[in-house]
Structure formats: C-alpha cells, structure tokens
Amino acid sequence: MSVIDPAEIAVEEPAAYDWAGLVDELNGLLRLKTTPIGMKLFATREEMEAIPKVRRPTAIHTTDQVVAQAARLGWTVGITAEDLVGPQCGVVIGLHARDEQWLSGKGMAGVWFETVADSAAHQAAMDHVPFGRYTAMAVSPLASGRLDPPDICLVYATPGQMMILINGLQWSGYRKLDWGVVGESACADSWGRALATGEPSLAIPCFAERRYGGVLDDELLMAMPPKYLPKAIAGMKRLAGNGLRYPIPQYGIQSDARAGLAVSYGNR
C-alpha cells in the first residue's frame, strides 16, 4: 500500500468567499481582539488605487504601521515603495530589490547582531516576495470584501487562540507544520513567508511590529492564503463538537487528571 505524503494533500480554492460570514465564524470560535485582515500585491499602482475606499498614506511608514491601520483601525490602505521608510520593509513584500547594500546588513551590525557577518546571515535568512513582479500592496479588513480575494489573510491571536487555530488546520489532511524564527524583521516569518510559499506561516511578532505596528504583548501572527481559512474554521468546529474549544478551561494543576484525559484523549 502506498503512503501519501501529507505535504502533497491539496487544499482547494473555494469558488467564492463569504468574507463577513467567515470572520463572524472565526470570531465566534476564537473571540479575537484584533480585526482579521487581508493583504494583496498589485502589479501596478493604478490597480491598487482602484480599490474602493482605499487610503493612501500622507506620511512615511513601516509596513507594520500600514498593516496595523487595517487591523487596529479598520482602514483599507494602499502603498507603494515610496510610502515605506526603507528597503527592509519593501524587500519582504517584493517592492524593493535585495541589492548588495541590503544583503550586507551593515545597518544592523552592532545593534541587532554582533558582527556584519551575523547581520548578513540574518538578511539572507529572511523570506520574501521576488522583486520585479509587483509595485503596490494593500491591506483591508477581511469582512469588507474589498480585496476579493486577498493573497493572504492575517490573524492576530493569543497563544491559546493560535493553538486552537492550528489544531483546526490539522484536523483533516494532517501534516506537521514547521516554521522558523528570523528574529528582528519577523514580518518575513509571517506575511513574507506566506506570500512567498503559499503556505500558512506563524510568527512571533518582532520589536518593530510591537513598537510601530501596535502588536500587543500576548499576540502571535498567523498569515495564510485565504483557501486555508475555511479549512481551519471547519476543523475548529469539529474540535468544538468534541469539547476542544476556546477558551480552554483550566482543569487544575493539583487535580486528578484521569477523568479529564479520558474525555479528551481516551477511547471514545
């Protein structure tokens, strides 16, 4: 009997998305504090500026700030490379080239990393969208439906909420999910990796995301192509039917664990 590689199990793209309905279900299952948003790349500035009610920055921002304006304020925001504070942000979303200066990482040496070699190794480790395909990017609350579909969905959640979301993704077509931690510039671990690979990508938001992007102390970030969102929701619903849901009730650190374990892990 042949063994199917779980990594080869395809997740089908739905014919259409009910964005408001999906967000309602997500919030009902996880009680999220932060608005789930979408991110989309565009070949031209004109395509981005054609999005209904899109806002264009009047100041220079980090990508973290632009993402936060959608997730924390509910805005639809579109940018080009000229709106970003520098190439560190632009490279990750494919709006700036990975040139020699950027790859050297010299600006981070002695600040984030001990040596120039350490800095260069960090830059080389960052996941990113290839340069030259896109000239603009937009973010918007998923429920608005203005990016239909977005390239990726971004969900901020606490570790407890995130574990249930991951369990939902793994309910059917199980596979181990592997992620890395680049450290500072962790946007490369979330939206950079998800955009580049088309896979769900979990990140521990970095210093810059928390300082400039308003990310809370207890938040992690999951970025995923939209086709994974219905899959995760369907999985979480099945888990909830088995009593595995958020919030996770505390059983007690000194209680006899056998009764609880029998329900969640024993023979049914």
Structural domain spans, the chain: 15-248
Report the predicted TM-score, pTM, of the whole model to 2 decimal places: 0.94
User: Residue 68: is it exposed, middle or buried by C-beta count within 10 angstroms (0-12/13-18/19+)?
Assistant: buried
Section 141-167 average pLDDT: 98
Distance of CA 242 to the CA centre of its chain: 27
pLDDT digits (tens, 9 = 90+) for 196-254: 999 999 999 999 999 999 999 999 999 999 999 999 999 999 999 999 999 999 999 99
Q: What is the model's pLDDT at position 1?
A: 36
**pLDDT, averaged across the chain:** 94
The tokens describing 228, both together, are: 């994974």
Three-point CA angle 250, 268, 159, nearest 5°: 30
Asked whether residue 9 carries a pLDDT value surpassing 80, the answer given is: no
Q: What is the model's pLDDT at position 198?
A: 97
pLDDT digits (tens, 9 = 90+) for 54-89: 999 999 999 999 999 999 999 999 999 999 999 999
Instruction: Give the long-range contacts of residues 201-207, CB within 8 A, separation 24 or more.
Output: 201/127, 202/162, 202/166, 202/177, 203/179
- What percent of the chain is predicted at pLDDT more than 70? 96
The tokens describing 200, both together, are: 């769900």
Q: Which amino acid is at 187?
A: C
**What's the pLDDT band for 267 if we cut at 50, 70, 90?**
low
**What's the pLDDT band for 114 if we cut at 50, 70, 90?**
very high
Q: What is the model's pLDDT at position 2?
A: 38
Q: For residues 128 and 194, what is the distance between their CA atoms, to the nearest angstrom? A: 9
Which residues fall within 8 angstroms of residue 201, CB to CB, at 6 or more apart?
Answer: 127, 179, 189, 190, 191, 192, 193, 194, 222, 223, 224
Asked whether residue 120 carries a pLDDT value surpassing 80, the answer given is: yes
**What's the pLDDT band for 15 if we cut at 50, 70, 90?**
confident
Neighbours of 141 (CB within 10 A): 21
